[in-house]
């Protein structure tokens, strides 16, 4: 076994609390999985918004292909196809099947050619419980715009949604092309179109009656008083939506050109979707470094949150000059503004660097945001230590308390607890407080979920959810006391506490292939619901206040059962693998609270911070390449990198004399031909490496080589090569200057391949090629080719 040099040298979930003291995150209970669903069909889908009303979950997602929803429930019930991709009703032509086959949609475009068949925006009504009692949908079709030589690809993406107690659902989004929205009582759908004079999209709002999932209206709010060609109409994206106690609808949006987006808050009439009033703030939108991301209501008052960059004394919102703290002068500042139902500004409060989302509970506003700078006063003072904050405001918009926590983006709450969710974004760890650090499941993006007490913001628990690949959360909602999350995944499987569901799209994409990327297949939508907090089965907890601390007195803390590991809030049997990194296994006899530092080097390789199974081929280095056919994980040969497979060889004879220098687009061939006559296919698999050379000369290497820039190294090499001749073994000298002596130098570890000599122009060129995903990679850097030819 070999010690891992990356990921698991980090700490696991730490609860370093003093015995006898009460601190945050000291409860042992963790959320059990209530249910978990994934689109198992064919093509791309992504859930962008979720709302809950009358016991049903409404998921707004877009689908390009055939969508087939499958779910697994805590009682073992399954819905749809969870094991075999060929049984999902996928025929590649349409949304084949009915509700009985658990396939979204009964008609409409869905083949993978967007220009021919378009894209669908779907709002799915999913009943919850031990098995879905309701499964209905509302579908909008986005088709292409073709006008002469102008051709615009169809696109639709939802932004946010809100449901009311009377069963009305409002969803916002963004589309390109033509958007067809079926309306109840109308023989023809409402067709919304983007202008044909440009390639930008438009923002829309649609109202759905959930009793029969019929459309009531669909509008383009930004078109009010806007003529074709006006900058405000060239692009529009809806961000947030909320309703008030009188049923009015409020939305935020960004509109404008690439370098100048204006932020707008507007009120729509619930009966028709007509604009009642709107406030536009120049350059107050995400595209300009500012944003309007939080929206909530108390009664008929509206609360807007986001971030803005302005100077001390400016009156950006019309609520009076704002005093910007000294530490925030010239920087982006978070804000919370209050309006009455007439659109009249009442107050503005500054806090942190950004306000990402808002939630109303019991007549107060709770905000989640980002912050990395110390500031604020009294109970609202922040240190910026953990990258984010949670804050409570009263109905007047005055801060009541604020606390530092991890960087989170979404917030929900019930009568007792606050839930905040974000993405790991490849970060190594998350400090939730001074006592608690939470680790992601692997090197790819995961979901970070944190529970706080509503009364004072004290932390209860923090967990991660996800699989081996990327996950991203796009919306959350409360279903009673349970939190529902939606988003996208590309992992081979997705975990929700005690529930695990295979991603059949991922597995279908890998079928018949020797490589198993962490992310495979198209991005596909997921929905998961967290259940009640349950003390994990491997724990015995005491009755003391610090039930989940490692107290010396077991009556005050937790005891882990023999032969079990308790890591990051989850129980594992001895020798059980980490679900996201299977080469690390529970070693209860060594440490019951951490994954071991050493990985299973008999059956796995550990490359670039991730476990690779024996036989896995080196993956493609960019989106248009194939996996390597001659390099694989072979633990017995090399456990920390890919190695050449026996019986194979690198293609060392691919140098072709060409007179025509083709590149992308030349005769439809995607080739790169160097000035030295070497052809590199864009679809190459990493096995086109020129031959090594055994130097017969020695070259004195400057001791300062490690500190030289790439340009300085090349300059020294060029000088030496320019002085080389046949009589002084110039080719050998050139080789050593560019590449070093591979028999004695220290090698780099680029992409798991220990190949290049450090501090050489060739190593620098290969590193640059990898970073830019050029065709000259896998040992094909121009510096190397120049000497080899």
Tell me the average pLDDT of the chain: 75
pLDDT of residue 270: 95
CB 78 within 8 A of CB 71: yes
| pLDDT beyond 60 at 245 | yes
| pLDDT beyond 70 at 69 | yes
In the chain, the N- to C-terminal Cα span, in Å, equals 41
| pLDDT beyond 60 at 19 | no
pLDDT of residue 7: 30
Share of the chain above pLDDT 90, in %: 29
Phi/psi at 713 (5° precision): -65, -45
Max mean pLDDT range (84-88, 580-584, 602-606) = 602-606
| pLDDT beyond 60 at 495 | yes
Half-sphere exposure of 163 (CA within 13 A, CB side): 25
Q: What is the pLDDT of residues 576-603, one digit of tens each?
A: 998 778 899 999 999 998 899 999 999 9
Question: Which of 185-189, 358-362, 411-415 is predicted with the least confidence, judged by mean pLDDT?
Answer: 185-189
Phi/psi at 7 (5° precision): -15, -60
Beta strands in 309-435, from DSSP E residues, in sequence order: 333-339, 345-350, 354-361, 364-370, 388-393, 399-405, 410-413, 417-423, 430-431
| pLDDT beyond 80 at 723 | no
Q: Please state the rounded mean pLDDT for residues 692-701.
A: 67
pLDDT of residue 510: 64
Q: Please state the rounded mean pLDDT for residues 514-531.
A: 73
Among 70, 193, 60, which residue's Cα sits nearest to residue 138? 60
Q: Please state the rounded mean pLDDT for residues 294-306.
A: 96
DSSP 658: -
From residue 644, give the alpha-carbon distance in Å to each of 23, 603, 605, 630.
53, 17, 14, 6
pLDDT class of 501 with cuts at 50, 70, 90 = confident
Rg for the chain, CA atoms, rounded? 29
pLDDT of residue 294: 93
Q: What is the pLDDT of residues 115-129, one digit of tens each?
A: 444 578 889 888 776
Phi/psi at 117 (5° precision): -115, -10
Cβ atoms within 10 Å of 362's Cβ, excluding its own: 9
Q: Please state the rounded mean pLDDT for residues 425-443.
A: 62
CB 532 within 8 A of CB 31: yes
Max mean pLDDT range (14-18, 67-71, 343-347, 749-753) = 343-347
Q: 667: phi > 0 → left, psi -120 to 50 → alpha, else beta; which? A: left
Q: Would you list the DSSP string of 480-528?
A: TTEEEEEEEE-SSEEEETTEEEE-HHHHHHHTT-S---SS-SS-EEEEE
| pLDDT beyond 60 at 740 | yes
Q: What is the pLDDT of residues 360-389, one digit of tens each?
A: 999 999 999 999 989 888 999 999 998 999
pLDDT of residue 337: 93
pLDDT class of 268 with cuts at 50, 70, 90 = very high
Rounded to two decimals, the pTM is: 0.75
Q: Please state the rounded mean pLDDT for residues 223-242.
A: 67
Q: Please state the rounded mean pLDDT for residues 210-227.
A: 81
Which residue has better confidence, 174 or 627? 174
Distance separating alpha carbons of residues 272 and 291, to the nearest angstrom: 27
CB 475 within 8 A of CB 161: yes
DSSP 26: -
Which residue has better confidence, 12 or 497? 497
Phi/psi at 546 (5° precision): -100, 60
pLDDT of residue 122: 87
Length, in residues, of the chain = 789
Q: What is the pLDDT of residues 143-173, one digit of tens each?
A: 766 555 556 677 888 999 999 989 999 999 9
From residue 413, give the alpha-carbon distance in Å to each of 15, 358, 512, 515.
25, 10, 46, 42
Structure tokens at 748: 């780099």
| pLDDT beyond 60 at 538 | yes
pLDDT of residue 683: 46
Q: Please state the rounded mean pLDDT for residues 723-740.
A: 72
pLDDT of residue 105: 37
Report how many helices (DSSP H) and strands (DSSP E) the chain contains, helices first. 6, 51
Q: Please state the rounded mean pLDDT for residues 313-338.
A: 76
pLDDT of residue 695: 72
């Amino acid at each position: 076994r070999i010690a891992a040099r990356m990921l698991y040298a980090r700490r696991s979930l730490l609860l370093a609390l003093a015995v006898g003291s009460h601190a945050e995150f000291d409860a042992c209970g963790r959320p059990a999985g209530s249910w978990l669903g994934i689109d198992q069909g064919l093509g791309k889908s992504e859930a962008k918004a979720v709302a809950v009303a009358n016991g049903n979950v409404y998921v707004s997602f877009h689908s390009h292909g055939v969508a087939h929803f499958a779910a697994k429930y805590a009682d073992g019930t399954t819905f749809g196809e969870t094991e075999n991709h060929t049984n999902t009703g996928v025929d590649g032509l349409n949304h084949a099947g009915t509700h009985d086959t658990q396939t979204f949609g009964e008609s409409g475009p869905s083949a993978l050619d967007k220009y021919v068949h378009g894209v669908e925006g779907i709002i799915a009504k999913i009943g919850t419980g031990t098995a879905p009692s309701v499964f209905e949908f509302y579908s909008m079709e986005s088709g292409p715009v073709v006008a002469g030589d102008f051709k615009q690809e169809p696109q639709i993406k939802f932004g946010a949604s809100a449901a009311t107690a009377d069963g009305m659902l409002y969803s916002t989004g963004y589309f390109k092309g033509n958007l067809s929205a079926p309306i109840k009582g109308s023989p023809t759908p409402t067709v919304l179109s983007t202008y044909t004079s440009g390639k930008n999209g438009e923002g829309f709002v649609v109202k759905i009656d959930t009793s029969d999932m019929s459309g009531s209206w669909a509008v383009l709010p930004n078109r009010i008083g806007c003529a074709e060609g006006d900058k405000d109409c060239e692009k529009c994206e809806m961000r947030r939506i909320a309703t008030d106690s009188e049923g009015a609808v409020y939305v935020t949006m960004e509109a404008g050109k690439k370098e100048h987006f204006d932020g707008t808050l507007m009120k729509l009439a619930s009966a028709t979707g007509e604009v009642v009033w709107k406030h536009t703030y120049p350059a107050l939108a995400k595209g300009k470094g500012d944003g309007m991301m939080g929206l909530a209501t108390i009664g008929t008052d509206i609360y807007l949150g986001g971030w803005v960059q302005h100077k001390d004394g400016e009156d950006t919102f019309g609520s009076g000059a704002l005093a910007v703290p000294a530490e925030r002068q010239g920087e982006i500042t978070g804000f919370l503004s209050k309006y009455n139902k007439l659109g009249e500004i009442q107050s503005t409060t500054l806090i942190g660097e950004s306000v990402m989302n808002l939630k109303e509970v019991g007549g107060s506003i709770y905000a989640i945001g980002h912050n990395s700078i110390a500031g604020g006063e009294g109970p609202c003072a922040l240190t910026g230590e953990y990258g984010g904050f949670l804050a409570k405001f009263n109905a007047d918009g005055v801060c009541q308390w604020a606390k530092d926590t991890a960087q989170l983006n979404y917030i929900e709450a019930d009568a007792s607890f606050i839930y905040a969710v974000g993405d790991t974004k490849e970060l190594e760890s998350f400090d939730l407080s001074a006592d608690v650090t939470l680790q992601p499941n692997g090197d790819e993006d995961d979901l970070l979920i944190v529970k706080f007490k509503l009364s004072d913001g004290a932390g209860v628990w923090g967990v991660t959810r996800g699989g081996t690949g990327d996950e991203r959360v796009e919306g959350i909602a409360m279903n009673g006391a349970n939190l529902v999350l939606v988003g996208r995944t590309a992992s081979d499987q997705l975990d929700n506490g005690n529930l695990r569901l295979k991603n059949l799209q991922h597995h279908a994409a890998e079928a018949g292939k020797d490589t198993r990327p962490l992310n495979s297949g198209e991005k596909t939508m997921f929905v998961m619901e967290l259940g009640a907090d349950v003390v994990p089965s491997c724990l015995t907890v005491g009755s003391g206040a610090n039930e989940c601390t490692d107290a010396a007195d077991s009556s005050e803390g937790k005891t882990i059962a023999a032969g079990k590991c308790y890591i990051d809030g989850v129980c594992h049997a001895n020798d059980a693998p980490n679900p996201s990194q299977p080469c690390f296994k529970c070693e209860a006899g060594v440490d019951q609270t951490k994954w071991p530092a050493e990985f299973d080097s008999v059956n796995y390789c550990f490359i670039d911070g991730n476990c690779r199974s024996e036989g896995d081929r080196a993956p493609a280095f960019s989106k248009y390449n194939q996996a390597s056919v001659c390099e694989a994980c072979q633990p017995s040969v090399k456990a920390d990198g890919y190695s050449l497979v026996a019986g194979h060889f690198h293609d060392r004879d691919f140098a072709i004399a060409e007179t025509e220098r083709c590149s992308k687009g030349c005769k439809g061939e995607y080739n790169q031909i160097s000035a030295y006559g070497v052809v590199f296919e864009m679809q190459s698999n990493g096995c086109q490496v020129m031959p090594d050379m055994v130097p017969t000369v020695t070259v004195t290497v400057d001791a300062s080589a490690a500190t030289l820039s790439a340009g300085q190294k090349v300059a020294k090499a060029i000088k030496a090569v320019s002085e080389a001749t046949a009589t002084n073994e110039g080719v050998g000298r050139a080789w050593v200057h560019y590449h070093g002596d591979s028999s004695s130098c220290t090698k780099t570890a680029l992409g798991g391949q220990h190949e290049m000599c450090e501090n050489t122009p060739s190593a620098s060129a290969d590193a640059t090629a990898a970073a830019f995903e050029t065709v000259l990679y896998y040992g094909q850097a121009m510096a190397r080719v120049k000497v080899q030819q």
